[in-house]
Structure 1
C-alpha cells in the first residue's frame, strides 16, 4: 500500500507534477503514495492551488495567492510550450500588481512544475523494436519476485554539467559515484569493480543476482565485457535492449532526485556539493518508493508487448 497521512511540500509537488504531466492515479502510485492521498493532494491543488502542507508564517509575503496560482495554471494549460517570459507577460495583463520572472519561476516550482526544453522522443528503429519485443517476450513470465533479484544502474546528468552513477535494487539503494568528466571505459571499469561488484556480491551472495546496464558505448567496451566474463560465476549481466529507458525504473528515481534538486533554496555550486545534496535527497526517499518502481516491471513488460516493441507511456 502507498504512504498515507500528510506529505512534505516536495512530496505534494511530486504528486501534482505527475498528475499535471498526464499520469493517471494508478501510474502516479509509482511514487509510493496511496490512491486516496494522490486524489486528495491533487484536488487541493485544483481547488485551492495548495501544494504546501503548512501555512507560510515567515519571510516575504507571497505575491501570487491561490487564485493567482489557478490563473497561472490555466495559462500553462493553454500553452504548454510557453516560456517564462511569456507566462509572466500573460499573467500581468489585467492584474493590479505585476510580478517579475523570478516570482513566476518560484511560483511554478511551488505548484510542482519544472521547466524543460521541448524535445522529440527519438523514434525507435525497426531493429531495436524487434530487440525490445524479444526482451519483453523472454521476460513476460517474470514475477515481481524475479525482478527483486535485479540491480538497476545508470548515469544521470544533473546540474553544473556534472553526472553521477548510481544503482539500486528492491532491497536498498546502492552507492552513488560522482563523475567529474566524460565517462570512458576505463573510468566505468573502476566504477563497476570498486562499487558495483561489492554491492552485487553482498546483496546476492548465492550468485542469483542480475546486473542491469544500458547500451552506452563505454558499457559495451571490450575491457568491460571481459571483466563481466571473469565474474559471471558471481552474477549475471542482463542483455538489455537498446533505446529502452522506459524499461529502466532507475530513470524515474533520477526524476525524483532532479525535481527536489531544482526545488532547493540554495543550489549546489560544485561537484562535491552536488553529491552531498543528492545523497541527502536519496536518504529521505522511502524504501516503498523504489520498491514500487521494481513492482512496476511486469506492467512495463506488458506495455512493450502491447506496443509491439514500440515506445510506451513509461
Structure 2
C-alpha cells in the first residue's frame, strides 16, 4: 500500500476529491489503492490546514540561524573579511538569546555561499595612481576592439630556475622529520633565473629577447631599435600603430625619449598608467609560460636550458590566446571606470581562463 509521503500532487487531490464526493475512507482506499491510514491523514490535513500537496514537512533539527540571523552574519563578514570562525561566532552570539557553536557558524556560512579562501594579491594603488588609471580609462573608453588591434604590448618578466612551493605537504611520522624523503631542498635566490623582454599584438607574437638580470636604458635602446622598430613598421606600415610600454625607469630615460621622438612618424608610444598590470594583457602570456614551466616532466637544470624552454613555450602560445586578450581590453577599461580607477576582477577571470 502506498504511503502519504509517496503520493503525487494528483493523487493527493484524488484523495480529497473522493472524500468530498461522499465516499467513505474504506471506499476511497479501495478505489485509489491506498491504505485507510493514508486516506484519513490526507483528508484530515486538507480539512484542518488546507494543505493541497503531498510535500512533507522538513525534518531534522530546526536551523538555529534563520534568515534574520544570516543577514546579521553577513554583516559581520562584510565588516571584517579576515575574521576567524571563532571571532565570527563570538561576535554573532553577543546580544543573542540563543548562542550557536562554531560548527553551526561554519554550516551557515557555507549555506550562504561563503568559503575560506586565500586572498588574491594585487598591487597597492595610491590615490595619485588611481586618478591616472581613471584618466587612462576615460581617454580610451570609446576604443573598440578594432582600435586595440593597433596596439603592440610589451613588458619584461623574470623566470626562476627553481621554485619554492610553500603549499607542499607530506605524510610522515613524528620521528621522521629529518628523513631525506621528508625534506624539501631550497636554493638561495631560486638558483638564479632568466629575464626576458617580449611583445605581441593582435596579429602575431613578437620577439622574445633574453636580457640578463636587469634592463637598463642602454640595453632597452638596443631592444627598441633592433626589435620594436622593425616589428611596428612591418605590422603597421601606415604608421597607425601604438607601442605600449610601462613606466619602468629605463623607459623614461632621456636617450629612450629622444629615440621615440626621432621615430614618432612611424608609430605612437602608448604609456600604461602606473600600477596597472590589469591594463597590460601581456601579463597573462607570462602566466602561461610560468604554468608550462611548472608542468614540465623534466625541469631545466641550468639557465641555458631554462632560456631555451622559455623561448619554446613562448613560440607555441596559440593565436587564439593573445587575440582573446586583445578582445578583452574594452571590458578591462569599463571595469576600471566602474571601479573609479581601483582594483577589479576582470584580470583575475582571464588568469583562470588562460
TM surpasses 0.5: yes
List, as ranges, runs of 4+ consecutive aligned residues in structure 1 with deviation greater than 3 Å.
1-120
* Inter-partner Cα distance in structure 1 for 2:258 and 2:21: 42
Q: Which has the larger radius of gyration?
A: 2
* Inter-partner Cα distance in structure 2 for 1:35 and 1:169: 78
**Cα shift at 1:270:** 3.3
Contact 1:170 1:294 in 2 (8 A): yes
The answer on 1:243 being equivalent to 2:275 is: yes
Range moving further from structure 2, 60-69 or 30-39: 30-39
* Inter-partner Cα distance in structure 1 for 2:32 and 2:220: 30
Assess, with a 3 A threshold, how the Cα gap between structure 1 residues 36 and 174 changes in structure 2: closer, same or farther. Answer: farther
Question: SS where residue 4 of structure 2 aligns?
Answer: coil
Assess, with a 3 A threshold, how the Cα gap between structure 1 residues 98 and 132 changes in structure 2: closer, same or farther. Answer: closer
List per-residue Cα deviations over 1:73-130 (Å, max 9, x = no partner): 9999999999999999999999999999999999999999999998853321111111
* Inter-partner Cα distance in structure 1 for 2:19 and 2:157: 24
* Inter-partner Cα distance in structure 2 for 1:15 and 1:169: 72
* Inter-partner Cα distance in structure 2 for 1:17 and 1:264: 71
Assess, with a 3 A threshold, how the Cα gap between structure 1 residues 195 and 145 changes in structure 2: closer, same or farther. Answer: same
Range moving further from structure 2, 244-253 or 5-14: 5-14
TM-score normalised to the size of structure 2?
0.54
After superposition, the CA RMSD in angstroms is: 20.0
Assess, with a 3 A threshold, how the Cα gap between structure 1 residues 192 and 55 changes in structure 2: closer, same or farther. Answer: farther
Assess, with a 3 A threshold, how the Cα gap between structure 1 residues 172 and 220 changes in structure 2: closer, same or farther. Answer: same
**Cα shift at 1:268:** 2.1
User: Tell me, which stretches of 5 or more residues in structure 2 are unaligned?
Assistant: 164-195, 344-354
Contact 1:188 1:218 in 2 (8 A): yes
Assess, with a 3 A threshold, how the Cα gap between structure 1 residues 233 and 109 changes in structure 2: closer, same or farther. Answer: farther
Could you say which structure has the greater relative contact order, defined with CA pairs below 8 angstroms and 6 or more residues apart?
Answer: 1
**Cα shift at 1:24:** 59
* Inter-partner Cα distance in structure 2 for 1:65 and 1:293: 44
* Inter-partner Cα distance in structure 2 for 1:20 and 1:238: 81
**Cα shift at 1:12:** 50
Question: SS where residue 121 of structure 2 aligns?
Answer: coil
**Cα shift at 1:161:** 8.8
